[in-house]
Amino acid sequence: MLDQAFSQVYTKFKLHFYQQVFSRFENREATLTTVESFCMEVIMALGHPTIAEFSNMMHLSTPNAAYKINNLVKKGYVKKVQSTTDKREYHLYPTRKYVDYYSISYAYLQEVVDRAKQRFSAEELQKLEEMLRVVSDELMPEIKLPSAGPAVAEPTP
């Protein structure tokens, strides 16, 4: 039963995300392809990765990753910012244009959290948070995420 419960929650979050992505195509508001949307999800999740870090996470060749990143730069969703410590490296920052797009899609996550806060006691919420941290940190070691959370928009000069 636990596997079914996990699967249902995971599937519902995925389906809601897909609804948001495809509704933008329906309204012709989106300029991102589906694959580009997934690439942006990875960039957001990794914080401010380098092209090499993005490439490694996606299991892409560096040239293929660079091509995808350059398309996102051209469309105005990513900005490459030169590293202050290693001038050969560039970190990927989502632009305000993407962060606004992203926040619409992720309003659902906040909505579910708000509903949980109404439904469960403080003790139950604390236990749920503890269990989710264990699942993320200990039971899913294959995926490393920065502790700071999702990326924010590009730095202002």
Alpha carbon 145 to its chain's center: 10
Mean pLDDT of the chain: 86
Q: Which range has the worst mean pLDDT, 44-48, 116-120, 128-132?
A: 44-48
**137, 145 contact by CB (below 8 A):** no
Would you call 151 helix, strand, or coil by DSSP? Answer: coil
Measured CA to CA, the distance from residue 134 to residue 50 in angstroms comes to 28
pLDDT above 70 covers a percentage of the chain that reads 87
Instruction: Indicate the pLDDT class of residue 116, thresholds 50, 70 and 90.
Output: very high
Closest CA to 108 of 26, 2, 35, 13: 13
pLDDT at position 79 over 90: yes
**21, 30 contact by CB (below 8 A):** yes
pLDDT at position 101 over 70: yes
pLDDT at position 154 over 70: no
pLDDT digits (tens, 9 = 90+) for 38-64: 899 899 989 899 999 999 999 999 999
pLDDT at position 29 over 60: no
Measured CA to CA, the distance from residue 99 to residue 151 in angstroms comes to 9
